Amino acid sequence: MFVDIAHIKIKAGDGGDGAVAFHREKYVASGGPDGGDGGRGGNIIFQVDDNLSTLADFRYKTKYRAENGKNGGTGHKSGRQGEDLVIRVPRGTVIREKESGAVIADMSTDEPFIAAKGGRGGWGNKHFANPTRQAPRFAKSGAPGEEWDITLELKLLADVGLLGFPNVGKSTFISVVSEAKPIIADYHFTTIVPVLGVVYMGEGRSFVMADIPGLIEGAGEGVGLGHEFLRHVERCRMLVHILDAGGSEGRNPAEDFEAINRELKIFNPELAEKPQIVVANKTDLATDEQLSMLRDYIEGKGYEFYTMCAPISEGTREVVNAIARKLDTLPPVKRYEEEVLPREFFENKKDSGFKISACGDIYYVEASWLLKILQRTNLDDYESLQYFQRVLQSSGIIDALRENGIKEGDTVSIYDFEFEFVN
């Protein structure tokens, strides 16, 4: 079974709570507070695994949660950090936030990606001791870990995508020019999983070719295997459109050419603009007149035209050389850049719920919706910081702090973020 899109929930571990404890030792009077800090919650980390080729595993398990941090202990002992949870995905997997569709990461390299950060552990009561508060009987709770609904979408990493109707010879071609061994037979939809093959052009030169399963009319709107496989063409640097020169399936190759390109344009107009060369296969079944008419038609459209008979490797070397020449002029395989989640996403998540508690001159603000905004805000960026301040103002948190008696110079603590209050 081939699965190339999946929806899952991920939840990083919550931070452990800080401990309230006091030093107890014989002959030591007034030992003072010694409650340890809570441990950080585990992260959710995505890692590329080249042994995987589908997202099938995510069909059966849709919820992933990292370990929580442990609570702090006595004697200044910090709680153990929660273990990170590593989720392995095929190379080429694009991770998106489910609701907005924004790209969070493109798993095309070996670099691991932290998709959800574990919550920071809470401070033990030792941190709250001062000359006027020598025996604090409170500690800070651990911060919750990030939580996201995400979509995993597999888009193959290939330089060249082979297009064409079922049974035109794509699988035969890739098996002849690479080490790939797809199943080949004389019936429709033999290929049900995209096949990647590496084509070697000599020392230090090679490119990756993908045999995209046969398309049918309506694929751009999801008919047949439709969207499941058209998305794999999106990354390709160029396309090789293979036609049945002799019309052995009872179809007209020129009409096939137009039909496939219509589907590309319907699915994603950018696909129809990708560099494309056209190859007429099964030349042993076509007459010279048929080949001449097809060549005139394709070249009249502005495309390079080649012929071959893939089963006996006739003309395949010329096609491969033409592909290599074209690739030398094209930019590298497309990567999807990380996108900033739209502000509307966070603003739509806001509710009126928040909790304010005070301890001396420190005011603690807790709100699950605010945590997500904080975690995705770059506090080193002036514009992002201004936005976060506006959120505090518009949500009523600033007014509520004033009602709770906050004064200028007091500290506001919002999970991992602390700042001095200014009226």
CATH of 343-423, one of 3.30.300.350, 3.40.640.10, 1.10.10.10, 3.30.420.40: 3.30.300.350
The answer to pTM > 0.75 is: no
pLDDT for 107: 94
Quick one: the chain helix, strand, coil %, rounded to 5? 25, 25, 50
Is-same-fold flag (160-327; 343-423)?
no
Q: Are 174 and 211 in contact (CB under 8 A)?
A: yes
C-alpha distances out from residue 324 to 178, 208, 299, 330, Å? 14, 11, 20, 10
pLDDT for 239: 94
Distance CA 270, CA 237 (A): 12
**Domain boundary assignment for the chain:** 1-154, 160-327, 343-423
Distance CA 61, CA 57 (A): 7
pLDDT for 1: 43
Q: Which two tokens stand for residue 360?
A: 């001396």
Which residue shows structure tokens 């696909």?
271
Q: What would be the CATH architecture of the domain defined by 1-154?
A: Distorted Sandwich (2.70)
Quick one: angle between helices 253-267 and 288-300, nearest 10? 30
How much is the CA Rg of the chain, to the nearest whole Å? 30
Superfamily, domain 160-327: P-loop containing nucleotide triphosphate hydrolases (3.40.50.300)
Q: How many CB atoms lie under 10 A from the CB of residue 221?
A: 11
10-residue stretch averages of pLDDT, the chain, 423 residues long: 80 93 75 89 95 85 96 92 95 90 91 92 84 78 89 88 86 86 52 75 85 55 49 84 87 90 83 92 92 95 95 94 94 82 62 77 83 77 83 87 90 84 83
Amino acid found at 323: I
Distance CA 418, CA 176 (A): 63
Where in 155-245 does DSSP place strands (E)? 160-163, 195-200, 206-211, 238-244
Q: Are 397 and 421 in contact (CB under 8 A)?
A: no
